[in-house]
């Protein structure tokens, strides 16, 4: 397999499920093929809102032309479709920008706790509108990692956006930032995967074994993701099939963006989910702190 699956001791009850996606190599199988599929999918995804827009324009110009109320109603629907296209294009641009320098590891330093605080501040109003509370647990001092602040902010933003989107009213989103060692078992696990995968090309194996990782973990109390879908999270345009009415209308690119950024950071992404109870996504980034 190209992604690895294991059940790890996490915070949830007896039938917990967890999945570790480290250094996914799927892209290497057939880049050409994937690129062709990607273009086909992207075109298809863009065509859907465009078809709606065309239909709505025809309706406004035709049957609905004499009713102000009808026109307003269809205009509002056009706005939704236009917004959908805008999001798609923004996500596609993000993805292609990230891909451009994905092979260049970041050399900057960033404070993961600061990033989380900043994103939570900007997400607070949306969360409040939806009746969702966001709680942050983070060390008082900076959690310095090797990474590009802007991209790490994108990671945290996408994870928190999803968590808010899927948490029901009066629910809580828990965000936890930890320095290396705070979450012994997973950090150790992350370290081991690294060695096995042997993909940290810029490091000697000894140095790789000594690396420690900081993490940001976002837990929600949403519907979770069925076990069979876990390996597919992060595939471009992949969306979990949900009951009618539970569709959140995302682009299916958010986690793909997260995965590419984490790949560039030689980082990891841990996904835990318990259907009916919630999900947690944890991103691991190399710590820049000397112990
Ligand atoms: P989208 O933009 O559609 O949210 P993502 O790549 O972020 O795309 O997510 C892909 C799929 O993963 C979504 O369709 C959603 O069903 C599922 N998913 C992501 N995050 C969560 C979460 N926190 N809880 C439940 N399902 C999630």
Mean pLDDT of 97-124: 94
pLDDT tens profile 138-154:
999 999 999 999 999 99
Q: Using CA atoms, how far apart are residues 260 and 151, in angstroms rounded to an integer?
A: 10
- Kindly state if the Cβ of 252 falls inside 6 Å of ligand 1: yes
pLDDT at residue 247, rounded to an integer: 61
Q: Using CA atoms, how far apart are residues 212 and 198, in angstroms rounded to an integer?
A: 16
Q: Using CA atoms, how far apart are residues 291 and 282, in angstroms rounded to an integer?
A: 22
pLDDT at 115 exceeding the cut of 50: yes
Which residue from 175, 231, 241, 252 has its CB within 8 A of the most atoms of ligand 1, so it is best to mutate?
252
Strand partners, 243: none
pLDDT tens profile 229-287:
877 888 888 888 776 556 667 889 999 999 889 888 888 788 888 888 888 888 888 88
pTM (2 d.p.): 0.81
Cα-trace Rg, the chain = 21
pLDDT at 169 exceeding the cut of 80: yes
- Kindly state if the Cβ of 220 falls inside 6 Å of ligand 1: yes
Cα 54–chain centre separation: 31
Question: pLDDT-based confidence at 113, cuts 50/70/90?
Answer: very high
pLDDT at residue 224, rounded to an integer: 87
- Kindly state if the Cβ of 278 falls inside 6 Å of ligand 1: no
E strands, 182-227, are 213-219
pLDDT at residue 181, rounded to an integer: 56
Question: pLDDT-based confidence at 188, cuts 50/70/90?
Answer: very low
Q: Which ligand 1 atom sits closest to the C-alpha of 166?
A: 24
Long-range Cβ pairs for the range 56-59 (8 Å, 24+): 56/81
pLDDT at residue 200, rounded to an integer: 22
Bridge-based pairing of strands 109-111 and 4-5 is unpaired
- Kindly state if the Cβ of 18 falls inside 6 Å of ligand 1: no
Q: Using CA atoms, how far apart are residues 155 and 162, in angstroms rounded to an integer?
A: 11
Long-range Cβ pairs for the range 204-211 (8 Å, 24+): 211/286, 211/287
Q: Which ligand 1 atom sits closest to the C-alpha of 281?
A: 23
- Kindly state if the Cβ of 171 falls inside 6 Å of ligand 1: no
pLDDT tens profile 68-110:
999 999 999 999 999 999 999 999 999 999 989 888 989 999 9
- Kindly state if the Cβ of 250 falls inside 6 Å of ligand 1: yes
pLDDT at 210 exceeding the cut of 70: no
Taking alpha carbons only, the member of 253, 161, 275, 267 closest to residue 214 is 267
Which two tokens mark 131? 């009746």
Q: How many helices (H) and strands (E) does the chain have?
A: 8, 9
217: left (phi over 0), alpha (psi -120 to 50) or beta: beta
Q: How many angstroms does the Cα of residue 222 sit away from the middle of ligand 1? A: 11
Question: pLDDT-based confidence at 203, cuts 50/70/90?
Answer: very low
Q: How many angstroms does the Cα of residue 159 sit away from the middle of ligand 1? A: 9
Enumerate residues 6+ apart whose C-beta is below 8 A from 152.
110, 112, 115, 145, 261, 265, 285
- Kindly state if the Cβ of 142 falls inside 6 Å of ligand 1: no
- Kindly state if the Cβ of 240 falls inside 6 Å of ligand 1: yes
- Kindly state if the Cβ of 251 falls inside 6 Å of ligand 1: yes
pLDDT at 59 exceeding the cut of 60: yes
Which residue from 86, 230, 240, 271 has its CB within 8 A of the most atoms of ligand 1, so it is best to mutate?
240
Which residue from 89, 162, 279 has its CB within 8 A of the most atoms of ligand 1, so it is best to mutate?
162
């Amino acid at each position: 397999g190209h992604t690895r699956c294991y059940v790890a001791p996490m915070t949830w009850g007896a039938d917990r499920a967890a999945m570790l996606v480290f250094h996914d190599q799927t892209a290497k199988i057939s880049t050409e093929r994937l690129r062709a599929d990607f273009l086909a999918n992207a075109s298809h995804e863009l065509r859907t809102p465009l078809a709606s827009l065309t239909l709505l324009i025809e309706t406004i110009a035709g049957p609905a032309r004499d009713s102000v109320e009808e026109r307003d109603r269809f205009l509002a629907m056009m706005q939704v479709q236009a917004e959908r296209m805008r999001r798609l294009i923004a996500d596609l641009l993000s993805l292609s920008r990230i891909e451009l320098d994905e092979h260049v590891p970041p050399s900057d330093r960033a404070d993961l706790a600061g990033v989380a605080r900043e994103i939570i501040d900007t997400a607070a109003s949306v969360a409040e509108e939806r009746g969702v509370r966001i709680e942050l647990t983070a060390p008082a001092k900076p959690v310095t990692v090797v990474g590009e602040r802007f991209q790490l902010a994108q990671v945290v933003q996408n994870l928190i956006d999803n968590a808010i989107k899927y948490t029901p009213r009066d629910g809580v989103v828990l965000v936890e930032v930890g320095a290396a060692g705070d979450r012994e078992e997973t950090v150790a696990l992350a370290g081991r995967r690294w060695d096995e995968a042997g993909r940290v090309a810029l490091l000697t194996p000894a140095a790789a074994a000594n690396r420690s990782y900081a993490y940001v973990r976002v837990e929600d109390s949403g519907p979770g993701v069925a076990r069979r879908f876990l390996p597919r999270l992060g595939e471009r345009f992949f969306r979990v099939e949900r009951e009618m009415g539970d569709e959140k209308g995302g682009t299916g690119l958010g986690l793909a963006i997260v995965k590419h950024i984490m790949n560039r950071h030689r980082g990891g992404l841990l996904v835990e989910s318990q259907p009916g109870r919630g999900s947690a996504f944890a991103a691991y980034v190399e710590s820049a702190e000397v112990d």
